[in-house]
Amino acid sequence: MTQIVSNTLGGTSTFGEIITTFYKSTQLDSGEPNTPGFSNTLSNSIPCVSNYPFVMGNQFTKKERDLVTDLLIKYENEFAFSMKDLSKCKTMQLSIDLIDETPVNRRRHRLSKHKWELVDERCKELHEDGLIQPSSFDFSAATIMPTKKDLARLWTEKRMCGDYRLLNLVTPQDRYPMPIPKELFSNIGDSNIFTIVDPRQGFYQIVLVVKDRKKMTCHGSNKLWEWLVMPFG
């Protein structure tokens, strides 16, 4: 499920539970719509936000569909339709304190030619979106390509990330009380309506403090890249 996201609460949150499918990749031809929120290039039964069509689950009644559509159109300026639209958290930045400031360097793993092409393509996209920049520091982590679920919920998507396990070994552990699941479930009581706020690419909305960006360095095929935001991994 692809998510519509909203730039609120110091970050970018989502209406992903409302929207079943959101076609980000196909932007429709602009034109004077017959109905607010709809495009001339589609049937008026398919609503659009900023010329991006979406469809809702069958559990919605017509009245509920109209209400959701009106809500999304009203706040369309709050949505992020690309990585460049994602806002950054305004309340904190991520710092990485180490037990030992000696640079942690790990040579790159062996990847196939095709995977390195995917890595370089992804690095180019992240660089254009202002999330990474070239690095020349002594820190480095191996780049890996784990398989993730695609929009069809199939395990076909390759997700680039750094293997920061060596860095974790010299990172002091944060200690804080974890909630007990049984207590959480008991607090639900007789409630039967629940709301979930799931930030889209939430880790990319947390900015790294400048002095620690070098610690989040990983390999491209022929250069090093350092993260400007919290990396996935």
Contact 105, 98 (CB under 8 A): no
pLDDT above 90 for 226 = yes
Distance in angstroms (rounded) separating the CA atoms of residues 161 and 159: 6
Sorting pLDDT into bands at 50, 70 and 90, what band is 233? low
pTM: 0.68
Residue 168 has what pLDDT? 93
Nearest Cα to Cα of residue 31 among 52, 48, 51, 47: 51
pLDDT above 50 for 48 = yes
Residue limits of CATH 3.10.10.10 in the chain:
91-175+198-233
* CA 121 remoteness from chain centre: 17
Residue 47 has what pLDDT? 66
pLDDT above 90 for 66 = no
3 state DSSP class of 41: coil
Residue 141 has what pLDDT? 94
pLDDT above 70 for 36 = no
**Strand pairing category for 19-22 and 11-14:** unpaired
Q: Bridge-partner residues for 135, per DSSP? A: 224
Residue 149 has what pLDDT? 80
7, 9, 10 from 72: Cα distances, Å:
13, 17, 19
Domain 91-175+198-233: which CATH class? alpha beta
Of 193 and 185, more confident:
185
